[in-house]
Amino acid sequence: MKIRYLTLAVALGLSGCSLIPEYQQPASPVADGWPQGAAYAGAEPTAAGAMPLDRRTFFQNPQLQQLLDLALENNRDLRQAALNVESYRALYRIQRSELLPSIGVDGSGNRQRLPSDLSPSGESGINSQYSVGLGTSAWELDLFGRIRSLQGAALERYLATEEAQRSVQIALVSDVASAWLAWNTDHALLELTQATLDSYRESLEMVEASHAGGIASALDVRQARSLVEQARVQLALYTRQLAEDHNALQLLMGTSIPSELLLGTELDAPLLADLPAGLPADVLQQRPDIRAAEHQLRAANADIGAARAAFFPSISLTASAGTASADLDGLFDGGSGAWSFIPQINIPIFTAGRLRANLEYSEIQRDINVAQYEQSIQTAFREVSDGLAARGTFDEQLQAQNDLVVTTSEYYELAQQRYDEGVDNYLVVLDAQRELFASQQQQLAYRLQQLTSEVALYRALGGGWQSAEAPAPQTTNKET
């Protein structure tokens, strides 16, 4: 009969009910479609499903691909994120183990001398007791799902850290790409400034010679010299920025950068793949930060179940079976068998409001996680919308700037020709040189902004996306 009751209790403990509230995904706090208007050309939603776009497909430059490989291998932030995943995985396994009893072998020995006035026989003597047993101690039967709720919360937090690791990886890829693009832009600006400074110096020498011959005025000399000094300032500026770009990139890499990976790349070369025009309506679900926020919300929801279960009685079992004897050599003799079974029940009656406050705290934490989940969606929507606006306008802006460079170049050539023919003074030539230099600088700056906006859109889309017809990247399921 005792065995039957014990079996029933164990079955109830293993099956257990659950007091976790039914999870309901919060409604999306953003619009159903992407913003519309002149800045969002080609941003109409499509019905195609979204999948991550492989970074080797998106980042086409071989040097950049090698830099990304080195960064993913050596970056310390990514290494910490991976270790956090392993630590939360261990915590989940610890919590999961509480569903089953911990069984171990215990051995003990006790020798005690009792004086005559304390001995039951009235005579002093030495008592000995030895035992060896197999058993479990204080195993809680999960009748109301408290332990299972905590296990579910631990699992969701483990899954959240996996998504956080993906988020760190995507951020690292985009940061390295942006830093590399900034380095190449400053490298191009430095070369442009050096070439412009050489040209300014040639013009200064020519004006000084004209001034010595009585053709050019002292004002022309001062104006030509001012352009030289301005270019020297710009040269020092871009030299410093190039060094800072290298330092920032090396920090992201987590290791020294091979010199062959920093040779300077033309920004007009194919560097990034084109993202398709239409975006699926559910593209935000690809973002790991949103997935992580939802896992945290599920974990907080499971904590409510554990807080509710604490109001109900808890039953724990302590049991052992083995052998005991007064003599060490008699432990395994016939008739030395011993066992004990100690069930314990704890019924909360008065806790000074601790259980109620703990439940309220769990519910508040759930509400906080709802707000964080909704905010992550709103942030993602804003970032994607900004990326779509940039993609819809940068092509036209850059084309207009390219046309401006061509126009100012023609203006400079015409001004130089008119000066050589004696039609205009040298002030017109200097003004044309200054405008050409400024337009070329702005051209490089706009190109950098366009490329970094594409990288930012790649990041905002959770690592990029491709249509459902394209083959999905290979993934490996990790055993939990």
| Alpha carbon distance 108, 403 (integer Å) | 91
Residues with Cβ within 8 Å of residue 42, at least 6 apart in sequence: 277, 278, 391, 392
Say if residue 300 is in the same domain as residue 395.
yes
CA atoms within a 13 Å half-sphere pointing along the CA-CB vector of 81: 21
The angle, 0 to 180 degrees and rounded to 10, between the axes of the packed helices 218-253 and 426-460 is 20
Q: Is pLDDT of 5 > 70?
A: no
Say if residue 135 is in the same domain as residue 284.
no
- Burial (CB count within 10 angstroms: exposed 0-12, middle 13-18, buried 19+), residue 247: exposed
Say if residue 176 is in the same domain as residue 324.
no
Could you report the per-residue pLDDT of 442-453, keeping only the tens digit for each? 999 999 999 999
Q: What mean pLDDT is reported for the chain?
A: 85
Q: Quick check: 186 and 217 in contact, CB under 8 A? A: no
Lowest mean pLDDT of 56-70, 126-140, 176-190, 375-389, name the range.
126-140
Helix (H) or strand (E) holding 140: strand 125-141
Residues with Cβ within 8 Å of residue 126, at least 6 apart in sequence: 111, 112, 113, 114
Say if residue 177 is in the same domain as residue 317.
no
Lowest mean pLDDT of 8-22, 46-60, 297-311, 381-395, name the range.
8-22
- What average pLDDT score do residues 126-150 get? 87
pLDDT range class, residue 12, cuts 50, 70, 90: very low
Q: Quick check: 107 and 131 in contact, CB under 8 A? A: yes
Integer Rg of the chain from CA:
37
- Rounded to a whole number, what is the largest CA-CA distance in the chain? 136
Among 294, 322, 347, where does a domain finish?
347
Backbone angles phi, psi at 46, to 5 degrees: -120, 165
- What average pLDDT score do residues 101-121 get? 81
In three-state secondary structure terms, 473 is coil
pLDDT range class, residue 232, cuts 50, 70, 90: very high
Lowest mean pLDDT of 188-192, 298-302, 379-383, 468-472, name the range.
468-472
Q: What angle do CA 198, 200, 205 make, to 5 degrees?
A: 95
Q: What CATH code is carried by the domain that includes residue 57?
A: 1.20.1600.10
- Give the distance from CA 437 to its chain's centroid: 40
Residue 4 lies in a domain: no
Q: What CATH code is carried by the domain that includes residue 128?
A: 2.20.200.10
pLDDT at res. 76: 92
pLDDT range class, residue 123, cuts 50, 70, 90: confident
Q: What percent of the chain has pLDDT over 70?
A: 90
Residue 474 lies in a domain: no
Residues with Cβ within 8 Å of residue 176, at least 6 apart in sequence: 64, 67, 68, 71, 249, 252, 253
Lowest mean pLDDT of 5-14, 284-293, 431-440, name the range.
5-14
Say if residue 325 is in the same domain as residue 357.
no
Say if residue 168 is in the same domain as residue 276.
yes
pLDDT at res. 53: 67
- What average pLDDT score do residues 96-121 get? 82
Say if residue 158 is in the same domain as residue 59.
yes
> Which amino acid is present at 129?
Q
Domains of the chain: total: 2
Say if residue 323 is in the same domain as residue 205.
no
Residue 476 lies in a domain: no
| Assigned token pair, 198 | 């050489």
pLDDT at res. 363: 95
| Alpha carbon distance 181, 104 (integer Å) | 60
- What average pLDDT score do residues 450-477 get? 68
Among 347, 364, 393, where does a domain finish?
347
| Alpha carbon distance 172, 251 (integer Å) | 11
Q: What angle do CA 20, 25, 28 make, to 5 degrees?
A: 155
In three-state secondary structure terms, 63 is helix
Q: Running DSSP on this structure, what letter comes out for residue 275?
A: P
Could you report the per-residue pLDDT of 261-295, keeping only the tens digit for each? 888 788 888 888 877 666 776 788 888 999 999 99
Domain with 343 in it? 105-115+124-141+313-347
Say if residue 274 is in the same domain as residue 341.
no
Say if residue 342 is in the same domain as residue 368.
no
Give the predicted TM-score (pTM) of the model: 0.83
| Alpha carbon distance 187, 263 (integer Å) | 9
Q: What angle do CA 97, 103, 106 make, to 5 degrees?
A: 140
